[in-house]
Amino acid sequence: MAFYKTCPLCGSNLDPGESCDCQEEKEQDRRKMQSMMKIGRDGQMQMCFAGEVAGIAEVGA
């Protein structure tokens, strides 16, 4: 007989005493995406993949 618990948020099967890190991973993904998003002078959101682009402010700054 196997003993496990299920994460109510993501449905992962966890060992006894194990905690799920799904929310931490979700937050890391959100931060990573936010760091790639910039707002241009015209107010449009833009993706920036290679370094800083002149004249573009960071989202949330």
Per-residue model confidence (pLDDT) at position 8: 93
Domain ranges of the chain: 34-61
Q: Are strands 57-58 and 37-39 parallel, antiparallel or unpaired?
A: antiparallel
**Higher-pLDDT residue of 1, 19:** 19
- Under 8 Å CB-to-CB from 58, ≥6 apart: which residues? 35, 38, 39
- Please report the pLDDT score of residue 38 as a whole number: 81
> How far is C-alpha 29 from the geometric centre of its chain's CA atoms?
2
Element housing 39 (H / E): strand 37-39
pLDDT value of residue 30: 87
Burial class (CB in 10 A: 0-12, 13-18, 19+), 56: middle
Tens of pLDDT, residue by residue over 4-58, are: 899 999 999 999 889 999 999 999 988 888 888 888 888 888 887 765 554 444 5
